Amino acid sequence: MTLSALPPSSGLAAGERRCDERRIAEMLDAIAAISDAGEGINRIAYTATERRAHALVAGWLRDLGARVSVDAVGNTLAEFAGTDPTLGALGTGSHLDSVPEGGAFDGVAGVVAAIEVMRTLAEDGRRLRHPLRVIAFAAEEGARFGQACLGSKAAAGLLGTADAHELRDLDGISLADAMSGVGFDPERMGDAAWDPREWSAFVELHIEQGRVLETEAIGIGIVDVISGSTRLRMDLAGRPSHTGGTPMDLRADALAAAAEVVLLAERLANDARHRGTRATVGQLTVKPNAVTTIPGHVRLTVDVRDVDSDRQRETARDIVREASDVCARRGIGMTMRVIGDISPVVLPVRLRDITIRAAAALGRPYRVLVSGASHDAQMINDIIPSAMIFVPSRNGISHDCAEWTSSSQIADGADVLRASLELLDRER
């Protein structure tokens, strides 16, 4: 059955679960099988492996009768026609790429939930007034190029060709070259920008990546605020020399200075003035990286996250100022560059209330909570009103092969996602 010839929807109806956890599990397993070698899931942005996952999802959506396309930056979009062609589309979906040695649920849960919603609509003979669009975004994870949500930023008009030539991974490969390597023209990046007039709303389902829902034994989270992120890259230049021949008081050890920077970032994020801030040094590249040579150069990244935009930027400035003092005291040169800066986002109250109503109508316990992670919905909200639904993460673990959310929990979230789309369809 396809969605192309279904009768109009009869509206939201409470009741037992509609979405099938078995089918969700099968889709999760099929996507997890698409991974490069190594522990966990390795489906890195702008690799052939990421593109294979997109091709698999595109095939499933075509089988449901969708019109499927891939835009200039690799986002996969599938449209199911509505009964009223004058209405803007309701969108849902998430991403398919992973961090190195990541888990099988981050992003993917939202994509398979969206597909399952479309299947259940077809099986129930329900067709909405609005067109429905499922989106699998490309390159959401910032692990490769230092900036998160590249596909959704391009869709929101927040990323351009100049950025593609400027952003580079640890191997020095530019985003532009990586895109070209999998068949996309970075000079056409602007073509991926969405026209807001063609859309009505966007709702993303995602795993929580925290422990709030699990701790409180609640199955559904309704996100009201998404944290911002300021990302810094620091280069510390010392003096490489022999570990045995150089006295301790004559050293300019770049790694020792970097160690102080790691600890000062942790200290600042933990003090009373910055309470609620998260600061992380996630990458350290040491040169020459030899047992018998004092490190002469260290490149490190700092990721500062907060729901308070002023405090977020203030913390980043404090880290840079104190790191500069550390380097001056140790005789180390320091250069700093901002490689990403995203403000916190308060999601629209009206859409949040609709997702709450959907959960309540289905009798699903829920709570409103903050997202500490960045998401595609955060970028899309810049041009289209957006909402987010969370499902629990076991032990709060994410970005690791131990990441786990049950198919049953995802199915419950998918039911709320479907009900939210149906409510939006009736009210917009």
Domain ranges of the chain: 21-227+345-427, 228-342
Q: What is the pLDDT at residue 343?
A: 92
Return d(Cα 166, Cα 159) in angstroms, integer. 11
Q: What is the pLDDT at residue 6?
A: 36
Q: Which two tokens stand for residue 157?
A: 């008009």
Q: What is the pLDDT at residue 40?
A: 96
Return d(Cα 144, Cα 173) in angstroms, integer. 10
Q: How high is the mean pLDDT in each 10-residue block of the chain (428 residues)?
A: 39 64 98 97 98 98 98 98 96 98 97 98 94 98 92 96 93 96 97 97 97 97 96 97 96 98 97 89 96 98 95 96 98 96 95 97 96 95 98 96 97 98 91
Q: What is the pLDDT at residue 276?
A: 83
Tell me the whole-structure pTM to 2 decimals. Answer: 0.89
Return d(Cα 149, Cα 219) in angstroms, integer. 26
CATH code: domain 21-227+345-427 is: 3.40.630.10
Q: What is the pLDDT at residue 428?
A: 67
Q: What is the pLDDT at residue 273?
A: 86
Residues 102-121: b if buried by 16+ CB within 10 A, e if exposed: bbbbbbbbbbbbbbbbbbbb
Statement: 228-342 belongs to CATH 3.30.70.360: yes
Q: What is the pLDDT at residue 399?
A: 95
The torsion defined by the Cα of 319, 320, 326 and 327, in degrees rounded to 10, comes to 150
